[in-house]
Chains A and B, each alone.
Chain A
Amino acid sequence: MKDDLKERIVELFRQKSKGEKHFFYIRDVVKWLPDEDRRMVQDAVKELLDEEILKYWSTGSTTYLVLAEHYPKE
């Protein structure tokens, strides 16, 4: 179940990242999956972060999520 959810999340990230916008709030991800429990989505995102498929990007006050391939280089 979780693997399926993770795949859907990654697929959604790929779709949504096709344009210029690559950074998303966790709230965006939860909204993309209105039928899923918020905590399940958050847990799946945490696993994707552990696997470094997704990465955090932060301004210091706000944290965003981004596909690793779109993570800006220093």
Chain B
Amino acid sequence: MANNSETPLLDQLEEGRWPSFVKEIKQAAQKKPMAEDLLRQLELSYKEKIGHWKHGGIVGVKGYGGGVIGRYSDRPDLFPNVQAFHTLRVNHPTGWFYKTDALRTLCDIWDKHGSGLTNLHGSTGDAILLGTTTEHLQPCFDDLSNAGFDLGGSGSALRTPSACVGPGRCEWACIDSLDICNSLTLEFQDEIHRPMFPYKFKIKISACANDCVAAIARADLTVIGTWKGNIRIDQKEVAAYADSGLDIQKEVCNLCPTHCMTWNGKELKIYDEDCTRCMHCINLMPKALRQGEEKGATILIGAKAPIVEGALLSWVIVPFMKMEPPYEELKDLIIKIQDWWSENARSRERLGELIKRMSMRKFLRAVGLPPVPQMIKAPRTNPYVFFWPEEINRPEGKEEK
């Protein structure tokens, strides 16, 4: 096992009161030579200030084009046990609901076939199993499959859809994010396992505007639960919040992004026509305020982190969609969107970048959605609401600029 003298730089990361991944890997190294070499290679990287991993290559198991991320050491002479150190992405149970026996099964399989090191959960949402050899990939997958697990997405494919815990635990859930996520995962199996897209495509579902999976910032296709109609107010409970010390004017009304509420010390009034359903007031006074009765989802498009181009936030394309199984309207829309993207995108161009390049107007026409006021981010800045050239009667000789 690695000791302090072998990894002096990493040892510093064990200091302090917070959890340490070095401590965890050292624990794994007592059983697994792979974990020991991992530590030693990492120490070398800290010392030389250079990474020693080679990425890329193998993609999966028989019939799959994703779910495995190939990783090799560029110093197998020094660290033979991490010569191959592949990652497996395992599709997580929707909403990350496990029983402990499922977790034990997962860990037993990984102890048998891999380094024993896990990342539960990666930012994709998957259960990430870190470090195995090429020979163990297929047997590991077979064991996972027999235990009811499947691999997640990687590469130019639909990534594992993810959702917040939704109605499983949360009173604010406007939609059954768990069921939607499960239904989309089953519907788009081929798109997850057989990469045929220009680049990655992510679907994330939050059951309310609190957006606990940060779908609005991360997903190419974002589903966020919302409601129609007025926020339901229990004035007695509002008064109880005031009596308990909540400064309703300062904390609720003044911080409302659209200033759509007033408080006279006795009664709270909400001008629902100005409400953007951000959840701020409901979060502060959950006993007093409840969402409107008609529930559904807002569909947004095009978020991404900065890689080829800068970061983008999602953009509303459908202000309100009813969400009832089997979610045909949503699935049809996703297929149209993915078709347009596949037809038009450059290689490694995310959907949001394509819309930015070709215009929202063309996107909306291609997927058959009408432009609506809720799409507007700022007045007079959204070119897709302009008329199409053929709709304009121009004087002869005047062409569109």
Contacts and interface: CB of A to CB of B under 8 A. Distances in A.
Contacts of B200: 61
B345 interface: yes
B347 A27 contact: yes
B65 A60 contact: no
Contact of A46 (B66, B194, B345): B194
Interface residues of B, number: 33
Given A50-B63, A61-B200, A56 B155 contact: yes
Contacts of A62: 155-156, 199, 347-348
Given A56-B195, A58-B57, A63 B66 contact: yes
A49 B65 contact: yes
Interface in B82-134: 84, 87, 134
A interface majority secondary structure: mixed
Contacts of B56: 57-60
A27 B198 contact: yes
Contact of A56 (B65, B342, B343): B65
A61 B72 contact: no
Interface string A34-74: 00001000100110011000001111111100000000101
Contacts of A61: 154-155, 199-200, 307
Contacts of B342: 38
A22 B150 CA distance: 30
Nearest to B84: A74
A46 B348 CA distance: 20
Contacts of A45: 196
B59 interface: yes
Interface in B273-295: none
Interface string B62-83: 0101100110100000000000
Contact of A63 (B59, B72, B84, B307): B59
A58 B347 contact: no
A26 B57 contact: no
A73 to B, nearest CB: 10
A58 B58 CA distance: 7
Given A27-B347, A74-B84, A63 B155 contact: yes
Given A26-B196, A27-B347, A49-B65, A60 B156 contact: no
B138 to A, nearest CB: 14
A25 interface: yes
A28 interface: yes
Given A27-B198, A27-B345, A56-B155, 11 more contacts: A26-B156, A27-B346, A28-B347, A45-B196, A50-B63, A58-B57, A58-B154, A60-B70, A61-B200, A62-B155, A62-B348
26 contacts: A25-B156, A25-B198, A26-B156, A26-B196, A26-B198, A27-B345, A27-B347, A42-B196, A56-B59, A56-B65, A57-B57, A58-B56, A58-B59, A58-B66, A58-B69, A58-B70, A58-B156, A60-B55, A60-B69, A60-B70, A61-B200, A61-B307, A62-B347, A63-B59, A63-B156, A74-B84
Interface of A: 25-28, 38, 42, 45-46, 49-50, 56-63, 72, 74
